[in-house]
Structure 1
Amino acid sequence: MQSGRLFEILYILLERGGATIPDLACQLEVSERTIRRDIDALSAAGVPVYAARGRRGGVRLMDGFVLSKSLLSAREQDEILYALQTLRATGAVQDGALLTRLSALFRREAVSWIDADFSDWGDSGERRALFELLKSSILERRVLAFDYYGQNGAAARRTVEPVKLRFKGISWYLQAWCRDRRSFRTFKLSRMERIALLDERFAPHGDPPPLDGNQAVSVPTTRIAVRFSPAVAFRVYDEFERACISPQPDGSLLVRTEWPVGAWGAGYLLSYGSHAEILSPPALRRHIAAEAKKIAALYPNADAPCPVSDATMEPSKPKG
């Protein structure tokens, strides 16, 4: 279409400073006559384009021209470029072409001041494919179906109308209108399996509630106190708010915070092994002690040969 071609001509002139009519015709795969008509159309629209003679001849723009400069301040232009840099980390922007074009249009350098990589170590590309699928579902307003693993470990098939992807803490979440619950729900991406993008379209239900604290993800919490040994101090400072951490004279760390009730919360504390002692509440302390006994019962004779040899063990399959 002509409007798209006019933009391409404008982009080329801004990026290169100028171009000949034959070069433009070749690159855009149209006739030189068409390019001349397009140049006239740009001029009629108020774009200061002109023909120059000599060694640096061809079609050029007047020095200092910036597309729609009056609509965006210099700071706003920078904010757009910085936002696009951050979006590249999610896969929403696949390459740097858009950044390059906007930098040329704004006549500003896209300073690479931040590099955020949300992919897991050893990521095979599945996360990026998932983001593409979710982006299509949200932007095209297409219904999504998937199995979702709840706190009890059981999977239930959900049919939802996706609204927004959100990142909070260390995890990605999908906010969507759940047809089963008839309300907005928040789903953790890592618990979604067998995801299917359906052809059915939906009408929006408005904006979802803010993802703020534990209430947004519908997880009950309780107040806990845990003493961590110095050996896991690096994890404690990574995973808890500084205001919740109290260094002790013996080098241990006392943490008081709100914590999710249920198997996930208990399992996470168990991941610290013998380096974490639950001080309160008593019910959680008893539960962790009971789980530790169950783990010990799996190894009544730890020095005995393993009942399954390495040769017969099948490699675990990646999630998909």
Structure 2
Amino acid sequence: MQINRLFEIVHILLNKKMTTAKELAHRFEVSVRTIYRDIDILSSAGIPVYAIQGKGGGISLLDDYVLNKSVLSEDEQNEILFALQSLGLAQNPETDRVLSKLSSLFNKNKTSWIEVDLSPWGSNKHKTSEFTILKNAILNHQIIEFTYFNSSGARSTRRVEPLKLIFKVNAWYLQGFCLGKNEYRTFKSSRMSNIDITQDFFTDRTLEEPLTDHKDEDSQKWIDMRLQIAPQGAYRVFDEFKEKEITRNQDGSYTVTTSLPESKWLFHYLLSFGTDIEILAPQNIREIIQGKLEEMVRKHKKLK
């Protein structure tokens, strides 16, 4: 990529008094003419690079040139480095190389003060690899194919033009144009498997409406609920519900008024609280939970 080549040219010139266009062309496997175009771009960007013709000549920077003082402020340097460190969640070797080069250019030795990793604790490298696959497919405008399980557990094979990755409410989502459904859809990444980048390319479509407001693969009915959670469940109350939904009772328990999606997931979620939860409303959900608990008791009774 040209931007990476430009950064590396400046990096070389900062660490080497002079080089030649031929040497740079050989290093980057491009033509000498391309190198001279790069030099023109750097010059127009305010970087004092110049070429000396003839024997003993070459390409160099003005003496005592320091990139960080001439182009970017201290805060801007830190913002750029932080952004690159944030991209570390994709474990892309290219990101590490650019971070290393810019750290050297900015004379910043300490770049490990923060680590951004949005994957769940205990997740393996396979999920990170899937993130990189999706990112590359979006940037290269390549159609992807994958297996998808919706919230009801229905399995389907999808062929999609990927457009955007979104991190929302502790989960990654892919937004794109589903060729099978012939419309824009949103897919939860944890329900995607066997992701494959095809050799078919696509051009961006014109969105008739904001994609974030379009149909979601997991769109469904939401249920207004009122829950009572015991004091020992406080850690989950404040992790999983909004503050405005929570009321602390005199006995130390919590009443939560919220909306949750109507699906099989809902019952698994409520049961995950064990004896710390009581469903106060609606009555039909309370009765369904009661029925499931009775079924669990029957299955776990000892055989006589």
TM-score, length-scaled by structure 2: 0.77
Q: CA deviation at 1:187?
A: 0.7
Q: CA deviation at 1:49?
A: 6.8
Counterpart contact for 2:187–2:216, Cα < 8 Å: no
C-alpha distance in 2 between matches for 1:181 and 1:49: 55
Counterpart contact for 1:228–1:275, Cα < 8 Å: yes
Alignment of structure 1 residues 283-298 onto 2, 5 Å: 283-298=284-299
Match of 2:57 in 1: none
Letter in 2 for 1:133: I
Counterpart contact for 1:92–1:135, Cα < 8 Å: no
Counterpart contact for 2:150–2:217, Cα < 8 Å: no
Counterpart contact for 1:227–1:253, Cα < 8 Å: yes
Q: CA deviation at 1:239?
A: 1.4
Note the residue ranges of structure 1 that are not aligned, 5 or more in a row. 52-58, 305-320
Mark the CA change 1:181 to 1:50 in structure 2 (over 3 Å): closer, same or farther.
closer
- Secondary structure (helix, strand or coil) at the match of 1:268 reads helix
Match of 2:275 in 1: 274
Counterpart contact for 2:227–2:281, Cα < 8 Å: yes
Q: CA deviation at 1:69?
A: 4.3
- Secondary structure (helix, strand or coil) at the match of 1:85 reads helix
- Secondary structure (helix, strand or coil) at the match of 2:237 reads helix
Note the residue ranges of structure 2 that are not aligned, 5 or more in a row. 53-59
Counterpart contact for 1:50–1:62, Cα < 8 Å: no
Mark the CA change 1:29 to 1:218 in structure 2 (over 3 Å): closer, same or farther.
closer
C-alpha distance in 2 between matches for 1:291 and 1:193: 30
Taking only aligned residues, the RMSD between alpha carbons, in angstroms, comes to 3.9
Match of 2:167 in 1: 167
Letter in 2 for 1:120: P
Match of 1:152 in 2: 152
- Secondary structure (helix, strand or coil) at the match of 1:298 reads helix
Mark the CA change 1:205 to 1:12 in structure 2 (over 3 Å): closer, same or farther.
same
CA-to-partner distance for each residue in 1:145-203, whole Å, 9 max, x for gaps?
22211222121222211111111111111111112222211111111123222221122
Alignment of structure 1 residues 254-273 onto 2, 5 Å: 254-273=255-274
Instruction: Please say which of residues 267-276 and 206-215 is displaced more in the overlay.
Output: 206-215
Alignment of structure 1 residues 97-176 onto 2, 5 Å: 97-107=97-107, 111-176=111-176
Counterpart contact for 2:103–2:111, Cα < 8 Å: no
Match of 1:65 in 2: 66
Mark the CA change 1:93 to 1:252 in structure 2 (over 3 Å): closer, same or farther.
farther
Q: CA deviation at 1:232?
A: 1.9
Mark the CA change 1:256 to 1:113 in structure 2 (over 3 Å): closer, same or farther.
farther
Q: Runs of at least 4 residues of structure 1 off by over 6 A?
A: 1-6, 212-216
TM-score, length-scaled by structure 1: 0.74
C-alpha distance in 2 between matches for 1:4 and 1:233: 49
Letter in 2 for 1:83: A
C-alpha distance in 1 between matches for 2:99 and 2:2: 23
Q: CA deviation at 1:260?
A: 0.8
Between Structure 1 and Structure 2, how many residues are aligned? 284
Match of 1:86 in 2: 86
Query: What percentage of residue pairs aligned between the two structures are identical?
Result: 34
Q: CA deviation at 1:8?
A: 3.5
Letter in 1 for 2:298: A
Letter in 2 for 1:175: Q
Q: CA deviation at 1:109?
A: 6.0
C-alpha distance in 2 between matches for 1:260 and 1:164: 24
